[in-house]
Structure 1
Amino acid sequence: MRNKLLMTSLCLLLGGCGGGSGGSVSSGEGNPTFEDGSNGGLDEGGEKELVALGVDSVRYRITIENDWGVEDFPQGFPDDAHLSLIGGATHNMAVSFWEIGEPATRGIEDMAETGMIDIFLGDEVVPAIENGTADSQFSVRNYTDPKIDGVPGTTVFELQVNRAYPLVSLVTMLGPSPDWFVGVSGERLYDDTLGWLPELKINLPLMDGGTKTDVTPVMGGPDIIPGVAIGYVVYDTPTGTYQPSDVPQMVARLRFERIE
């Protein structure tokens, strides 16, 4: 196993507990813009400089704000709503761990159904590190007590990212649920023209892992055999159930902030 294997296990700020993606950059004349319409933390004069192209690695603060709450999802909203364990990797373009429109891997299935990330990290991320397509793995434990009613809160942690492996993928189960999760797949933090991005904000839709049939926020339920592709799931107000959709519904926000 390569020496670059990294396991980061952090205690976090979170008001809950528990067991692809956007963020594209458009370049052209002027400052870069991001999918949320911001300029990625640059001021109007571009004085907040992007890190030079030659810098090999930088550190990012990652903040996940969970907006899944009883106000917007009133019927059957669980008392123990939470984000589960967060698992992820820094990697290059030669590997992808999950994609919208593709079936879930065994590790993603287990994460979405149970909140556990052992299979995802051990059977999928570690082999990618060993074959040189990923640089590091990370896990974030979200256990706090007591739970906060409604919106579970905010998770904050830090991550070192290498220029040769500028992509970040992460996932976490939105629980309790049959097989729902949020995350990003292959978010790029280093641009060959712009350098290291100072900030990236992404809205996270509720994802359906495609392996369970239940439409309410409870764990378990009948399996879908074989599993179907990962897709969006949205709250249907008239019925109080969650249904597959081609249109995403945002339930969380993710922010990458470069720190020196």
Structure 2
Amino acid sequence: MLRSFPRFCLLPVFFGLAACSQTAEPAEMPPAPAVGSALYRVTFEATWSAATHANFPAGAHFSAPIGASHRADALLFRPGQLASLGIKDMAERGNNTALRAEISALQSSGAAFRLLEGRYFNSPGSASDTIRLDAAHPRLSLVTMIAPSPDWFAALEDENLLEATGQWVAQRRVPARAYDAGTDSGPTFTAPDQPTRPAGVVAPLLLPPATGSAPDGPPLGTWLLERIK
């Protein structure tokens, strides 16, 4: 003989299964917010002087800084590799024509976003300009000739301003690194032209300090990067 159970006895089982079904479904996550572009003020604060480095030349200055916001695969130069014509002309004569064309080609390919080209300035001294970056081009590279010099330049090298959290850096100070372009063998700031044949590779430049025992001396200055929009 079949016995019937009261309907209310099945209710806890039904609701228990329903609860398990609800908790088993993964919660839908809201889409991550898109990262917008960012506008930065870039200031090169040059501290290179007779008080910081030996053999400080008369008329010391930096050529018009030039560079771009770009992807990780769009570097203006690579230490240990030959300098491009644009880097050579910038480092030897402060001439940005060829480098400007190289950056334009990177922009056309989508590897670079925006160009920055400032004005020359004396050292010690400073110069500022602005540049826009976006999520696809969050890195910034800039170069400027150390003048007078054979083929020496200062650089901001592949600086990533988009943090892993998806937030733009509010402010950052980066020491200006000095490089030898490997295209002129002059040993001093005012040495006559001595083309390097065959050309060498771009390499860090070690300038002796005016005082102290540090082998590479203090930096030539600081790149100040400030997000303004």
Residues 51-73 of structure 1, C-alpha deviations (whole Å, 9 max, x = no match) = x9623211111111111101122
Aligned residue type for 1:129: Q
State the distance in 1 between where 2:162 and 2:171 align: 11
Which residue does the alignment assign to 1:48? Answer: none
Deviation at 1:188, TM superposition (A): 0.8
Aligned with 2:184 (options 212, 225, 244): 212
List gaps (5 residues or longer) in structure 2: 1-31
Query: Is the alpha carbon distance of 1:237 and 1:54 closer, same or farther for their aligned partners in structure 2, counting shifts above 3 Å?
Result: closer
For residue 137 of structure 1, give the secondary structure of its aligned residue in structure 2: strand
For residue 56 of structure 1, give the secondary structure of its aligned residue in structure 2: coil
Structure of greater Rg: 2
Corresponding position: 1:56 with 2:36: yes
Which residue does the alignment assign to 2:65? Answer: 86
Query: Sequence identity, in percent?
Result: 29
State the distance in 1 between where 2:97 and 2:79 align: 22
Aligned residues: 195
Aligned residue type for 1:133: A
**Aligned partners of 1:90 and 1:167 also within 8 Å:** yes
**Aligned partners of 1:113 and 1:219 also within 8 Å:** no
TM-score (norm 2): 0.77
Which residue does the alignment assign to 2:225? Answer: 256
List gaps (5 residues or longer) in structure 1: 1-51, 239-244
- Which stretch of structure 1 is more off in the superposition, 130-139 or 112-121? 130-139
State the distance in 2 between where 1:223 and 1:230 align: 14
RMSD: 2.3
TM-score (norm 1): 0.69
**Aligned partners of 2:53 and 2:217 also within 8 Å:** no
Aligned residue type for 2:68: A
Which residue does the alignment assign to 1:116? Answer: 95
Aligned with 1:152 (options 124, 127, 145): 124
Aligned with 2:111 (options 122, 133, 137): 133
Residues 85-118 of structure 1, C-alpha deviations (whole Å, 9 max, x = no match) = 1111111123221122221111001100001111
Query: Is the alpha carbon distance of 1:236 and 1:93 closer, same or farther for their aligned partners in structure 2, counting shifts above 3 Å?
Result: closer
Deviation at 1:255, TM superposition (A): 1.2
State the distance in 2 between where 1:172 and 1:219 align: 19
State the distance in 2 between where 1:121 and 1:112 align: 13
Aligned with 2:46 (options 60, 66, 69): 66
Which residue does the alignment assign to 1:44? Answer: none
Aligned residue type for 1:204: A
State the distance in 2 between where 1:205 and 1:94 align: 20
Q: How does 1:226-237 map to 2 (within 5 A)?
A: 226-236=198-208
